[in-house]
Amino acid sequence: MKNTLFILIVFFISVLFTGGKNEQLPYKDSSLAIDERVEDLLGRMTLEEKIGMLGGTGFETKEIKRLGIPPMNMTDGPVGVRWNGSSSSFPSGISMAATWDTSLIEKYGIALAEETKAKGRHVILGLCVNIARIPQGGRNFESFGEDPYLTSRMAVNYIKGVQKEKVAATIKHFACNNQEFQRDFVDVRIDERALNEIYLPSFKAAVQEAGVLAVMSAYNKVNGSYCSENEYLLTKKLKEEWGFKGMVMSDWGAVHSTMPTILNGLDLEMPTGIYLNDSTINSAVSESLIDEKVRRILRVMFTIGLFDPSVRDEKPDTTVFTSAEHKALAYEIAKESIVLLKNEKNILPINTDEIKSIAVIGPNAAVTRTGGGGSSFVEPIYSVAPLEALKNKIGNKIKINFAEGVTLSGDTKPIEAKFFAGGIKAEFFNNKELSGKPVEKSFDQINFDWGGEAPFEGFPEDNFSVRFSASIKAPVSGEFAIDVNSDDGVRLYFDGKQVINDWNDHAAFTNTFKTKLEKDKTYNIKVEYYENGGSASVKLGWRLPGEDPFEAAVTAAKNSEIAILFVGTSNNYESEGFDRPDLALPANQDELIEEVCKVNKNVIVVLNSGSPVLMDRWIDKTDGILEIWFGGEETGNAAADVLLGNYNPSGKLPVTFPKRWEDCSAFKTYKAEDSVTYYSDGIFVGYRHFNKYNIAPLFPFGYGLSYTNFQYGNLKVNGDEVSFDLKNTGNMEGAEVVQLYVKGLESSVERPEKELKAFKKVRLKAGEMTRINFSFIGKAVPFFDPSAKKWKSEPGKYEIMIGSSSRDIKLKTQL
C-alpha cells in the first residue's frame, strides 16, 4: 500500500512539473472529429498567434512552432504544379471544358493533387471558373467557357478529384473577374439576377456539391466594393446562404484595407499580412471574429491531414511527374478536347496512302503551345510539338516540307553570348526603384525565368529590380528586331536612347524595337527590369535579317499536295494581366493563310488558342479547320492523331465563336468608361445573347463535328425523365456529346431562348445504338427573383430540346 501511494505521489509531482507533456493533446488525436480538434487548438493559441495566422508568408500560411502548427504550403496553378522546376503540363481549362467529359476531369484532379503533394505543397491555387463574357479576355483559356451549367459540372468534378488526395482545391476568382483590363480596380456594375444566374453558380456548386476547401477573392470590385471586402459576396452569399466552412483567401495583393476586409468576410490575406496584422487590427475587432477566421484556416489544415503523422510525414512520390499514367492522361484530355470545326470534301482525316507530300507551316508547328501566360503557365518536363509528332507517326512514308512562315512575339531565341562584347554586367537592387547599393553579377546572356523564386540565394524573391548593361556586335547588316520579354516592368535603352518603356506590372509580354545595324559595329544596350510579386522573368532576344520565312512557307505549300497551317496565339498573346487587343490572328497569320490558299487547294488550318479568333479572311478558302486549344504537353501527339485519323474528334465548343467582336454582348460596354464596366447584357451572355438577338455566330456554343454521323430519335418524356435513341450511323467509332436545353414558355420574367441543363458524352461503335436518359426537371426550371432575393420556380409550359449543339436541335417537345 505504501509503495502504491509513493508511486501516485511521484506521478502527480511529475505531471505538476512537466505540465503533462506526455499527455496526448486533443488536437493531435486523429480519432476525434475535426471541429473538436480545431476548437481545442484554437483555445491554446494566444491572440497574437491568431492574428499572425491572418496573413501569409509568400506562398505559405504562418508556422507556429510552439504549438506544432505547420505552414500550409500553396502553389499555382490550375493546369499543373508551378513550383520548384518543371512538372506535367496538362491541357488548359478551356481544353478540359471542350471535352465535356466530367469523369475525365475528375481523373485530372487526382493527378494534379498527386503532383502537388510530390512538390511538398498542400493547396493548389486552382481552379478558375470565371465566365467567358469577353471573347478576347486574357484568362479565358484558364476557365471553362461561357455557360454556368457546363462550368459547374467541370468545377465539381475537378474539385472532387483534387480533394480525394488530401489536397485543398481553391476556386477562383470570386467574382466577376471577366476581364484583365483594369482588373486591379475596375468596378463591375451588375444586377443581382445576372450575378446569381450566370456568374455565381459554379462557385455555389463547388461549395455545396464538391465541398471545396478554399475560395480566392478577385482583384476587381463588384457593385462598388472590392471583392476582398465585399460583404454581399463573402458573407451573405458564400458563408451565410451557401454555408461555406472553408477559408477565403485574397488574390495576391488584392487587399486594400484593414477594417472593411476583416469585417466583411476575408480570412487570409496573401501573400503577406500588409493590412491584416497585429499593428493594424485594433481593439474594435472582437477576438471572436478573429477566432472565426483562424477556425476556418485550421479546419482546412486538419481536413487535409497536416496534423496527422500518417499524412504529414508521407514521403512524396516524385515519380509521378514522369509517370506513364500522367502522360497518358494529358494525352487523353488533349485529344478529347479537339474540336473539328470544318471538314469540306472530307479532307480529314488525311489519307496517308494517297498522298506523297505535306506542307507543315506556321509559327505553332514546331513549338508546343502548352498553355496561356501568367500564373497558370507550367514549364513542362516533356512536350511534343505537332511537327515532331507528325514526323514520328508518318516516318518516311510522306515527305514533310516545313516552313515557319511568320514568327510570334516572344518566340525569338536569346541573343547568344558570343555577340556580347565583354559580357553583361548586372546590378540587382532589393527594391523596385533601382536605388541604393546593388549586388553585382556577371552573365553571358539575358535569359532569366526565376518563376516565384529569388534570383539567387540571400536575395528577395519579390519586389526587386535589375539593371543589365552590355555591348552587342551585329553579325550582319540589315534591320534587326530586338525583343524584350518580361514579367513585370521593363525599359530598353539603345545607344543611350530609351526605345522601350513598359514600366508596369504585367504577365510575361514581349516588347519589340526595330532598328538597322551594321555588321561588326558595336552598340550599347541597357535593360532595366523590376519585379513586383509572383513570377519573375526577363529575356533579351533578336531576329536577324535574312531569308524571308513567309516566302519559304508559300513555296513549301506550292510544292506539296496538302498544306497544314498551325496558327493561333501563344502565352505571350493570351495571358493573365492583359486582354487581347482584338480577335484577329496576330503577326500576319491571316495573310499567310490567304497566300497559302492561292497556291494550294487542299488547306487545313489548325488553331492553337484559348479563345475565339476571327476567320472571315480565309474560312471559305480552306477545307478543314481544327481547334486544338492550349493542349498541354501532349498537344502535338493529340493533334497528329486527329489529323491522321487515329482518333475521331469529339470535342465541342464551350464558347461561342463570333463572326465579329461587334456581335458580342459586351461590345458596347467593355472599355466604355474608365474604372467601371456595366454588365448591361444581364443574363444574356454567350449563346443566350446570340439567340436573343438572332445573331448568327461563326460557330455556336456546343458545336463540333465528327468523322462519323449520329442519328437522334424516339424522344419520350416520362415524368421527370427524358429519353431518346442515339445511333452511330457512320463507319467509324466515335463519341457524341448530347445536349439538353430548356426554354420557359410561360414566365413572369424574360427567359433565354434556351439554357443548357444536362449533357452526356456517349461513345458508340459504328452501327451501335443506345438509349439516353436525362432526369432534369427539378433543376431546370428555377430562376433568380431579385425582388424576393431567392431562386423561384413557376408552373407553366417548358420546351425541351435535345441537340448536337445550341443551334443544332435534333428533337424537341413541350411539357
- 3-state SS, residue 71: coil
The answer to whether the CB of 754 falls within 8 A of the CB of 691 is yes
* Residues 89, 321: Cα–Cα separation, whole Å: 9
Active-site residue flag, 251: yes
Residue in 369, 384, 398 with CA at minimum distance from that of residue 562: 398
Q: What SS3 state is found at 136?
A: coil
Nearest C-alpha neighbor of 717 from the set 797, 598, 597, 599: 797
Residue 223, CB-side half-sphere exposure with 13 Å CA sphere = 11
C-alpha cell at 301: 489544415
| Phi, psi of 724, deg, nearest 5 | -160, 165
CA distances to 10, 50, 259, 278, 285 from 47, in Å: 35, 5, 17, 9, 12
Torsion of CA 271, 274, 279, 282, to 10 degrees: -100
Torsions phi, psi for 581 (to 5 deg): -70, -25
d(Cα 739, Cα 761) in Å, to the nearest integer? Answer: 9
Enter the DSSP assignment of 90: P
From the number of C-beta atoms within 10 Å of its C-beta (0-12, 13-18, 19+), residue 366 rates as middle
d(CA 413, CA 373): 18
Tell me the CB-side half-sphere exposure of residue 364, using CA atoms within 13 A.
Answer: 31
Measured at the CA of 52, the angle between CA 456 and CA 316, to 5 degrees, comes to 55
The answer to whether the beta carbons of residues 408 and 592 sit under 8 Å apart is no
Are 401 and 606 in contact by the 8 Å Cβ rule? The answer is no
Alpha helices by DSSP H, listed for 59-185, are: 93-99, 102-118, 148-164
The stretches of 45-134 forming alpha helices (DSSP H) are 47-52, 93-99, 102-118
Q: Please give the single-letter amino acid code of residue 675.
A: S
Compute the distance between CA of residue 266 and CA of residue 268 in angstroms, rounded to an integer: 6
Contact 415, 540 (CB under 8 A): yes
**Options 147, 251, 590, 641, the catalytic residue:** 251
DSSP letters spanning 470-538: EEEE-SSSEEEEEEEEEES-EEEEETTEEEEEE-S--SSEEEEEEEEE-TT-EEEEEEEEEE-SS-EEE
Cell for 496? 543611350
Is the backbone of residue 800 left (phi > 0), alpha (psi -120 to 50) or beta?
beta
Kindly write down the DSSP assignment for every residue of 524-548, as one continuous string: EEEEEEEE-SS-EEEEEEEE-S-S-
Strand partners, 69: 64
Catalytic (active-site) positions: 251
